[in-house]
Structure 1
Amino acid sequence: MTKYISILALSTALTATGAAAQEKLTISVYSFAQDAYKEVLYDPFEEMCGCELVIETGNSVERMAKIEANAADPVIDMAVISSHDALSLARKNLLQPIDTSRLQSFDKLYTAAQDPIGDNMAVGYTFYASSIVYRSDLVSIESWNDLLGEKLADNVALPNITGTQGPLTLMMLNKAEGGKPGEFAGTISAIGKHADDIVTFYSRSSELAQLMNQEEVIAAPVGRFAWSRFKSSPLPFAWAEPKEGQAGGMNVMIMTANNGNEDLAYKLMDYWLSTEVQTRIAEALIDSPANTEVKVSDEVAENLTYGAELINSLNILDPSVIIANRDAWVEQWNNEVIR
């Protein structure tokens, strides 16, 4: 009987140990490149920590709504999201500050990525440039204003105002027109006047790639993270370098308030930001690195937003400007552009 109890106790202990080894971390991420992320990030991390990652995807609106709806009892431990969406969540007290002393690679990050929305409420993990992809055999692009010019009429697509690329495109068109920074009313009105010349206002880069490969569209603003969709096409697409420069953005890591799983979340953040993992992600052409120590070949760099010179040259829209003006922009857009 004593022997039986001892075996039972040992079995219970082993079961408990196994359960502890299978801690779970629930993260909310973009749906983009999830198979590739599984290979270069999720699977190696699970093997290293002996834990399980629960991956949730969706568009930004859905993911933010889920975090807000479960504020009292968080179901998301950590998320990656745009800097302005992170600021919106922080202002609703849905996030907790990040203890950067727990991130070994923190000092290796570009300065802009270390505290992108203030109060250490987020840390940047990737930058992206945004410019105009165009058919180099059919048209040349010198300025962001070319998007509304006669040579592209009936052959251009623009991003919807509610997408990530929408405000960035407004910023660059506004700059090209000599407008006051952050005041886009005139730019939206100009787009409205040319609405009949625009093939579509796209919401997803995959939708745009299909239209351009079908030769219905020959020029459109797009984020660098989607450039591979066009570069691999048999059609001669090119990446524009307009005289006003390129727009830029940053995606960030955030941690939900009072989730109770902070230790494991910090482990993933630290792993994700490490030189080794950021290099692996860059070489897989998934995301551009925020870690300054990442070194890649010229061939890989061509597909990324890579290097201090490029990153420091980007026109980045202040997240607080987006939050302060987004509702007014959308209302004017619906009235003058969508009609």
Structure 2
Amino acid sequence: MYSALVLASASALMVSTVFGQSLTINSFGGAYEDAHRKCVIAPFEDATGSTVEIVTAYSADALARLRAQRDAPEFDVVHFSGGQEIVAAQEGLLLPIDEASLVNAGDLYDIARSNLEGGEGPAYSIAAIGLVYNVEKTPQAPQSWVDVLDPIYGRHLVLTDISNAYGMLGFLMINQINGGDLGNIEPGLDAVAELLDGGAVVVSTSPELQRAFAEGDAWLAPYASDYAFTLRSSGLPANFAQAAEGAPASFITASLVVGRDNKDLALQFIDMSISKEAQECFAHELRYSPTNMTVELPDAVAADVAYGAGAASGLLRFDPTVIEANRSDWVDMWNRTISR
């Protein structure tokens, strides 16, 4: 359905037919890659007559490849989900993008196109971090990050290890509501210690989180919007709430790589990625939050994502470069806290 919609909208993009040309991109494997093919890759190939070669490479690996291949990069378009486009742009690995070269750029929220001229590609989806809760067990839908601290949850609160990207963002929000910032995470660690004393548990991966919900022990977990949909799809009574203080967000971006000779085709691919139709498809398939303000979602889908101008204004982005610079030390401090 959505492939057809994207193809039908090709006339709204700067699409030219380029039979015989190809692009090489990275994608993230699994269900994400399936959705990527459905929402962008297959429609793009149909619309342009080109071929898209996919290398499964997660963000950290993709950045490592760019660095190692600086003189002969394999990717035309590189996708990141952890802010690596900021680092890659600073290192001269990404090309600046003229906003005028993307027909759909004007439809993006400002947060999704804040530094195109600096080489940071646009965000075409967002994983918003908020409060995933059990609708049958939770007394009322949580509305604030402060609710995480409520003793009523006790052993029914599930935290995620900060070695997990979503766990890191949830922790930084707990740190912030307790008076901390990126220069001081002690308030967050003190809060986590108190929560653990109250019975809260820590998991490391999404499957562990799902198991906790399946066993009925989990009532509340700071985690990503898309995972509430994953839980519900498996038959569990889970919903997502975007807290009043805002939702830290993992931006999924598409950037133009330096040193490749098919820039125009790569820009067409990026343009389709940020289109209304492609983002509606991602929201339906994976419950990622759209960055295109023209997206229209039915209520059932909208309830699982950060949707609309009001919700978009509540999205927060902790500086990925600061996180990366401190990650090792913070993980050590976290490990000492949860093991004592």
Give me the whole-angstrom Cα distance separating, in 2, the residues matched to 1:321 and 1:116. 18
Q: Deviations over 1:252-295 (max 9, x none)?
A: 11122213332221110112222333334334455332111222
Give the partner amino acid of 2:308.
G
- Offset at residue 206 of structure 1 (A): 4.1
What aligned pairs does 1:9-158 form with structure 2 within 5 A after superposition?
21-31=19-29, 32-82=31-81, 84-116=83-115, 119-140=118-139, 141=142, 143-147=144-148, 150-158=151-159
Q: Which residue of 1 aligns with 2:252?
A: 251
- Offset at residue 48 of structure 1 (A): 1.4
Runs of 5+ consecutive residues of structure 2 not aligned to the other structure: 1-17
- Offset at residue 113 of structure 1 (A): 1.0
Give the partner amino acid of 2:56.
T
Secondary structure in 1 aligned to 2:258? Answer: coil
Q: Which residue of 2 aligns with 1:4?
A: none
Q: Which segment drifts farther, 69-78 or 238-247?
A: 238-247
Q: Which segment drifts farther, 164-173 or 239-248?
A: 239-248
1:337–1:274 distance in 2 versus 1, CA, 3 Å: same
Give me the whole-angstrom Cα distance separating, in 2, the residues matched to 1:147 and 1:70. 44
Q: Which residue of 2 aligns with 1:229?
A: 230
TM-score computed with the length of structure 2 as normaliser: 0.82
Equivalent residues of 2:128, 2:248 under 8 A apart: yes
Q: Which segment drifts farther, 139-148 or 81-90?
A: 139-148
Give me the whole-angstrom Cα distance separating, in 2, the residues matched to 1:60 and 1:74. 15
Give me the whole-angstrom Cα distance separating, in 1, the residues matched to 2:53 and 2:23. 6
Equivalent residues of 1:188, 1:336 under 8 A apart: yes
Runs of 5+ consecutive residues of structure 1 not aligned to the other structure: 1-19
Q: Which residue of 2 aligns with 1:201?
A: 203
- Offset at residue 114 of structure 1 (A): 1.2
Secondary structure in 2 aligned to 1:21? Answer: coil
Q: Deviations over 1:151-184 (max 9, x none)?
A: 4343332222132213321222123213346521
Q: Which residue of 2 aligns with 1:274?
A: 275
Report which of the two structures shows the higher radius of gyration computed on alpha carbons: 1
- Offset at residue 150 of structure 1 (A): 4.1
Q: Which residue of 1 aligns with 2:319?
A: 318
Equivalent residues of 1:285, 1:304 under 8 A apart: no
1:271–1:237 distance in 2 versus 1, CA, 3 Å: closer
1:106–1:238 distance in 2 versus 1, CA, 3 Å: closer
Give me the whole-angstrom Cα distance separating, in 1, the residues matched to 2:279 and 2:242. 26
Give me the whole-angstrom Cα distance separating, in 2, the residues matched to 1:22 and 1:50. 7
- Offset at residue 241 of structure 1 (A): 4.8
Equivalent residues of 1:24, 1:54 under 8 A apart: yes
Give me the whole-angstrom Cα distance separating, in 2, the residues matched to 1:287 and 1:254. 19
Equivalent residues of 2:287, 2:304 under 8 A apart: no
Equivalent residues of 1:83, 1:252 under 8 A apart: no
TM-score computed with the length of structure 1 as normaliser: 0.82
Give the partner amino acid of 2:301.
V
Q: Tell me how many residue pairs correspond in the alignment.
A: 319
Q: Which residue of 2 aligns with 1:299?
A: 300
Give me the whole-angstrom Cα distance separating, in 1, the residues matched to 2:152 and 2:117. 43
* Aligned sequence identity (%): 29
Q: Which residue of 2 aligns with 1:211?
A: 212
1:160–1:244 distance in 2 versus 1, CA, 3 Å: same
1:107–1:119 distance in 2 versus 1, CA, 3 Å: same
Give the partner amino acid of 1:228.
F
Give me the whole-angstrom Cα distance separating, in 1, the residues matched to 2:241 and 2:127. 15
Give me the whole-angstrom Cα distance separating, in 2, the residues matched to 1:148 and 1:59. 33
Equivalent residues of 1:285, 1:303 under 8 A apart: no
Secondary structure in 1 aligned to 2:25? Answer: strand
Equivalent residues of 1:25, 1:77 under 8 A apart: yes
Equivalent residues of 2:133, 2:240 under 8 A apart: yes
1:128–1:271 distance in 2 versus 1, CA, 3 Å: same
Q: Deviations over 1:304-331 (max 9, x none)?
A: 2211011102233233432343333223
Give me the whole-angstrom Cα distance separating, in 2, the residues matched to 1:286 and 1:176. 26
Give me the whole-angstrom Cα distance separating, in 1, the residues matched to 2:225 and 2:217. 21
Give me the whole-angstrom Cα distance separating, in 1, the residues matched to 2:144 and 2:273. 36
Give the partner amino acid of 2:202.
T
Give the partner amino acid of 1:51.
S
